[in-house]
Homo-oligomer: A and B are copies of this chain.
Amino acid sequence: MDSRPTPADASPWLPFENRRRARDEKRDAVLRVAVQLFLEQGYHRATLNDVAERLNITKPALYNYFRSKDEILYACWSLGRELVDDAIAAIDAGGGPGLARLRKLVHAYAELMATDFGASLVRFDPRDLTEAHRRIVRAAKKKIDRSFRDYIAAGIADGSVRRCDPKLSAFAIAGSLNWIGHWYQRDGASSPAEIADEFTLRLTEGIAATPDKPARGGPKTKTARKASAPGKQGRKPPRGGTG
């Protein structure tokens, strides 16, 4: 019985059936629900009871997988961090002129901001974490910021980017991207891919060395529909469905 493929987003704790999945899967399920709830209600308003309820379990069961609420928060953030790190690693490995790398990063980051774990990078408050975790967060953010600046600086060096202050330019670009995590919603007018395409263009055309002739034909953004970022992304679908 029960040959249904489990709706992919469903809880592994089916109301009273086969509870036999691996521990890690359950842990992941907790995180998926938690990040969703934390984003939806805000960390402080979302209670562990809420999280448990959505999983068809009770609060204390969560403590089999996590030691505290803030550890769950950190784990969510941590998954998002992995995604960014992978993206950066892939770009670094790829090489190319500074501007090209910057654009890849902008594109990948923009798409990330439209995912739950990606958004958690910018919507969670580090002050809710322990000092130890907070240090890690600070370091990770610094690293991301560094990537933006390095690509810009590299671009200036290799001539693909106009002279500018890499620090403030990075702030401007990253700020714009981070904000996506605050306003993007699945039922919005633009798809993540469209947003990423558009932002990649807009945020880099200002500092690109070559004027770049931005689509004289019209403001249509659906030019680069070809799934954009090739590798890196498909590894761990943050929650494939329509949401």
Contact = CB atoms under 8 A, between A and B. Distances in A.
Nearest to A220: B165
Interface string A91-130: 0000000000000000000000000000000000101100
A221 interface: yes
Interface stretch (A22-30, A76-84, A203-211, A225-233): A203-211
Contacts of A169: 202
A203 B172 contact: yes
A28 to B, nearest CB: 27
A210 to B, nearest CB: 12
A44 interface: yes
A17 B172 CA distance: 48
A168 B199 contact: yes
A202 B44 CA distance: 36
Copies in the complex: 2
A190 interface: yes
Interface stretch (A50-58, A65-73, A176-184): A176-184
B211 A206 contact: no
A199 B45 CA distance: 35
Interface string A145-187: 0000000000000000011110011011111111110110000
Given A173-B176, A179-B178, A211-B211, A198 B165 contact: yes
Interface in A21-44: 41-42, 44
Interface residues of A, number: 41
Contact of A125 (B42, B165, B175, B218): B42
Nearest to A218: B163
Contacts of A173: 176
Contacts of A172: 176, 199, 202-203
Nearest to A165: B219
A168 B180 contact: no
Given A178-B179, A206-B206, A216-B163, A168 B198 contact: yes
Given A168-B199, A202-B206, A127 B219 contact: no
A234 interface: no
Contacts of A127: 41-42, 45
Given A164-B219, A165-B221, A168-B221, 5 more contacts: A163-B216, A168-B198, A172-B202, A173-B176, A206-B206
